[in-house]
Amino acid sequence: MNLNEVKIKIDGVECVAKEGEYILNIARANGIFIPAICYISRCSPTLACRICLVEADGKRVYACNAKAKDGMDVTTSSEEILEERRAIMGVYDINHPLQCGVCDQSGECELQNYTLELGVDSQNYMIADCKRESTNFSSVLHYDPGLCIVCERCVTICKDMVGDNALSTGPRDGAELDKELKESMPKDAYAMWNKLQKSLIVPSDESGQTNCSDCGECLSVCPVGALVSRDFVYTSNAWELKRVPATCSHCSSGCQIFYETKPTSISDRSDKIYRVTNEWNYVSLCGAGRFGYDFENSGAIKDEKQFAKAIKAFKEAKAIRFNSTITNEEAAMLQGLKKELGVKLINPEAKAFQSFLKDFENYRGESLYSGNYKEMMNESNFIISVGSALRHDNPNVRYIFNNIQKLNKGAGLYFHPVGDTLIESLGKNVTPIYHTPGLEEYALYLVLDLFASKDELPKETKNYLESFHKKATKTVQETIMEDVTETVVDEETGESKEVTKKKPKVVEKEVEYVANELASLLGAPEGFDDIFEKMVAKADNFSMVVGEDFYAHPRAENLAKLLAFIEQYTAIKIALIPPKTNSLGVALICDLDEKADGYTIGYNEVGDFRLSALGDGDLDMPALNQQEGTFTNMHKRVVPTNAALSYNGYELNDIMSALGLGEQLSIDWTSKLPTRKGFEALSFDALPNGFTNAGEELRGYMLKQKSTKAKAFEVEKPDESCKLEGEIAYRCNPQRQFNDFTNKAHQIFEPFALYVSEAKAQTLGKKVKVEIDDVSLELPVEIDAKMSGDVVKVPDFLSSKEIYPLFNAGRFKQVKISEV
């Protein structure tokens, strides 16, 4: 047993757990069942349902919020506890509409399950119901308050995990409970019922709409059919659907999902995906993962004529242009083609990431990166984000940033040129520093200055940082105790006398302090030194996430050096966010080239001969919901995905076979992924895809990391010429769009447009011309209500628009904008 571990007994079973862990989580990890409705792992307990009642050392406690103490003895089910739980379930069942036959949740409804489990077979209480109207909360959310048991899971997940805080409880105007019940009913059941009669769920926004990220996390955690998808409602019963365990293919988070399928109709027996669900206790999805699932390439056939043309094209090709929305196996095939046919492999976003990763690895003397996102979420209490528009680039990293504020009572520094009011709202200890684009090197120097122990730094760096420290004076308020003399009249004698008392008085005074000009140069808020002092006061576990802005930065190599330097001289653990779905896999597997020349094959990209999983090319390819294979996600984990839908056309492996380079099946490439890069020689079928009860992830395997000799280096001073001024565009997608595939999905609505803040929109018309060097784009203007500032966003999710080359694979660009 470690120092911070405790031993407790639950129903006689000895359990070892981390000190401070909740009894419920310990029970779950040890396979002991305690009913629980309102609690969600990695969110704060709300005590809304009270059904997790247990006895700990003879006292009644709620297992979801009672922390284990060494030697504790827990009983999960005495007769008294069972009686209380039965009464709670009995109350939940009062006036719950009997529409289970058509309810979306029927078959996997926790109200049904617990009612049966706890043996509630008669109704002991009743009360008149009030009218509760169903309503649409957003373009994807439908709420039926008649079914709602006000467990508040939806409110909790939105606040503690997602960070939108878009839902809250509101008044229900239900009938008053008979006061006599207070005496006659079990006490928790009464308290819960009393609250139930008074509350409903409402959007926090006064408009009555959630105006949120439309991630669907709230409906995934709803235990009943109260919050459901507008698209899925009344389309299927849960038991008709086949669950295909898979991995979301839209961003580098590589989240666990289930595609849920059944035949399209009575006459069309081909499978269709009806919805995506997930292990919501352990994984949180974004709106693209949950709603962007119908991107399959349907109707593809084995077109032999086109296949012959494809083979001819491959024999002629000088280059293959592709993006990272492919599997590791496909990346290995492309690398095979490079080796055997000498073609160049062009993927600018993965190339930039690969070069950055290589530099970072060389300077720190270890492969990949030290930060581990899961550990970060569980343990870190200070997170720094650099080089990423977190709300858009990677929803899961934004959830981690938020969860650290809410659950670990942490702090967060957010460096970025684009203002984001959502990030600002994630916690009172979140400080955004909206700097001018091009000052990213200064941001890392500020991190060094704030977190490194100066005496250990090389002298030159120390002197450079000190050159920004200037003596200055500021006015501060101080409370002093002042002698105040008052005349007091003695009530008995009527005599007056003078009494002197000490009284507090607030005074202002000038004090000298050391101003940090680096913080001012970056546009940190007024009084940053004091703000930072408070932020860091209780922090002892520091992490940093680094995004795509750094990878194709004109000073990328120096940024990589600075990050290695930060890791060397501070306690900060750093994790990189791979820019697209499988950029990490592609960066490890493929030797990428800078430029295509000559005849080019485009794989889901523009080319002289185009392979397309979108069904719009010269030869069809399967989409990622029609393929088996693996991705390498940002967690440095190789995760498996399965085919949810059938596909009848050719695959990349067929082309390889026709060229004499193929395997029998695409997944035969899984065991051939390069072990020198950390992959394991494991077959696809050997890869697990699930979680344990304790939430441990058993999906695929972790990449092996290895140490090398760190390359000697000196960090350079920032290059001031990188600073961009004037009208600036940022290459960045709207929240639920990542690629051509999300755009194809029928529930993803964000258009290809210029995204701007509300204030900026006032200065532009409905449609604008954006001139980037000598190319001009006409784009409609869309308001992003959570954006602030003047920088505008140009999306890159449509490959046909060829946005990457316009930005030279970088992300900021000076542009001209005029009204059309």
By the criterion CB under 6 A, which residues form the site for ligand SF4? 141, 148-154, 157-158, 162, 164, 166-167, 201, 210, 212-218, 221-224, 226-227
* Beta carbon of residue 154, minimum distance to ligand SF4 (angstroms, whole number): 3
User: Residue 787: beta bridge partners?
Assistant: 420
* Beta carbon of residue 397, minimum distance to ligand FES (angstroms, whole number): 28
* Beta carbon of residue 692, minimum distance to ligand SF4 (angstroms, whole number): 25
Query: Closer to ligand SF4 at the Cβ: 221 or 273?
Result: 221
How many Å separate Cα 694 from the centre of its chain?
21
CA distances from 479 to 428, 501, 534, 619 (A): 25, 16, 20, 77
Q: Which residue is it, tokens 């200037």? A: 470
Instruction: Answer whether 722's CB lies under 8 Å from 555's CB.
Output: yes
535 forms part of the interface with ligand FES (CB under 6 A):
no
Query: Closer to ligand SF4 at the Cβ: 158 or 574?
Result: 158
Query: Closer to ligand SF4 at the Cβ: 516 or 735?
Result: 735
Selected from 29, 47, 311, 341, the binder of ligand FES by CB under 6 A is: 47
User: Per CB under 6 A, which region of 47-55, 363-371, 581-589, 766-774 contacts ligand FES?
Assistant: 47-55
Closest residue by Cα to residue 716 from 523, 583, 565, 542: 565
38 forms part of the interface with ligand FES (CB under 6 A):
yes
Selected from 36, 331, 443, 574, the binder of ligand FES by CB under 6 A is: 36
52 forms part of the interface with ligand FES (CB under 6 A):
yes
* Beta carbon of residue 223, minimum distance to ligand SF4 (angstroms, whole number): 6
* Beta carbon of residue 51, minimum distance to ligand FES (angstroms, whole number): 6
Q: Which residue is it, tokens 């919901």? A: 625
Closest residue by Cα to residue 804 from 605, 506, 587: 605
> Which 638-697 positions form the footprint of ligand FES (CB under 6 A)?
none
Residue 734: name its binding partner from ligand SF4, ligand FES, none (Cβ under 5 to 8 Å by kind): none
* Identity of the amino acid at 775: V
Selected from 15, 17, 27, 49, the binder of ligand FES by CB under 6 A is: 49
Instruction: Answer whether 543's CB lies under 8 Å from 371's CB.
Output: yes
228 forms part of the interface with ligand FES (CB under 6 A):
no
User: Per CB under 6 A, which region of 36-44, 340-348, 574-582, 639-647 contacts ligand FES?
Assistant: 36-44
Residue 49: name its binding partner from ligand SF4, ligand FES, none (Cβ under 5 to 8 Å by kind): ligand FES
Query: Closer to ligand FES at the Cβ: 51 or 447?
Result: 51
Q: Which residue's C-beta sits nearest to ligand FES? A: 64
Determine the Cα–Cα distance for residues 264 and 241; give it in Å rounded to an integer: 11
- Strand pairing report for 141-143 and 53-56: unpaired
Instruction: Answer whether 781's CB lies under 8 Å from 761's CB.
Output: yes
DSSP label at residue 23: H
* Beta carbon of residue 139, minimum distance to ligand SF4 (angstroms, whole number): 10
Query: Closer to ligand FES at the Cβ: 47 or 181?
Result: 47
Residue 52: name its binding partner from ligand FES, ligand SF4, none (Cβ under 5 to 8 Å by kind): ligand FES
Q: Which residue is it, tokens 């809410």? A: 406
**Sign of the CA dihedral running 179, 180, 183, 184:** negative
Structure tokens at 94: 């009062």
* Beta carbon of residue 641, minimum distance to ligand SF4 (angstroms, whole number): 24
DSSP label at residue 67: B
Structure tokens at 666: 């695409």
* Beta carbon of residue 538, minimum distance to ligand FES (angstroms, whole number): 27
Query: Closer to ligand SF4 at the Cβ: 398 or 573?
Result: 398
How many Å separate Cα 117 from the centre of its chain?
34
* Beta carbon of residue 219, minimum distance to ligand SF4 (angstroms, whole number): 7
Torsion of CA 667, 668, 670, 675, to 10 degrees: -170
DSSP label at residue 250: S
Residue 201: name its binding partner from ligand FES, ligand SF4, none (Cβ under 5 to 8 Å by kind): ligand SF4
Query: Closer to ligand FES at the Cβ: 27 or 722?
Result: 27
Instruction: Answer whether 658's CB lies under 8 Å from 302's CB.
Output: no
> Which 106-125 positions form the footprint of ligand FES (CB under 6 A)?
none
39 forms part of the interface with ligand FES (CB under 6 A):
yes
Beta strands in 416-495 (DSSP E): 419-420, 430-433, 469-489
Selected from 10, 62, 161, 585, the binder of ligand FES by CB under 6 A is: 62
Query: Closer to ligand SF4 at the Cβ: 144 or 294?
Result: 144
Query: Closer to ligand SF4 at the Cβ: 534 or 746?
Result: 746
331 forms part of the interface with ligand FES (CB under 6 A):
no
CA distances from 577 to 384, 546, 569 (A): 13, 6, 22
Q: Give the angle subtended at the CA of 198 by the CAs of 195 and 203, to the nearest 5°.
A: 110
Instruction: Answer whether 262's CB lies under 8 Å from 274's CB.
Output: yes
The 10 Å Cβ neighbour count of residue 673 is 24
Residue 430: name its binding partner from ligand SF4, ligand FES, none (Cβ under 5 to 8 Å by kind): none
Query: Closer to ligand FES at the Cβ: 223 or 578?
Result: 223
Query: Closer to ligand SF4 at the Cβ: 224 or 332?
Result: 224
Residue 154: name its binding partner from ligand SF4, ligand FES, none (Cβ under 5 to 8 Å by kind): ligand SF4
Query: Closer to ligand SF4 at the Cβ: 213 or 733?
Result: 213
Which residues are CB-neighbours of 182 under 8 A, at least 6 positions away? 190
64 forms part of the interface with ligand FES (CB under 6 A):
yes
Determine the Cα–Cα distance for residues 333 and 441; give it in Å rounded to an integer: 38
Residue 345: name its binding partner from ligand SF4, ligand FES, none (Cβ under 5 to 8 Å by kind): none
Determine the Cα–Cα distance for residues 624 and 327; give it in Å rounded to an integer: 8
* Beta carbon of residue 284, minimum distance to ligand SF4 (angstroms, whole number): 9
Determine the Cα–Cα distance for residues 171 and 202; give it in Å rounded to an integer: 9
User: Per CB under 6 A, which region of 46-54, 263-271, 540-548, 623-631 contacts ligand FES?
Assistant: 46-54
DSSP label at residue 707: B
Instruction: Answer whether 272's CB lies under 8 Å from 264's CB.
Output: yes
Residue 81: name its binding partner from ligand FES, ligand SF4, none (Cβ under 5 to 8 Å by kind): none
Determine the Cα–Cα distance for residues 364 and 449; give it in Å rounded to an integer: 19
Q: Which residues bind ligand FES (CB under 6 A)?
A: 36-39, 45, 47-52, 62, 64
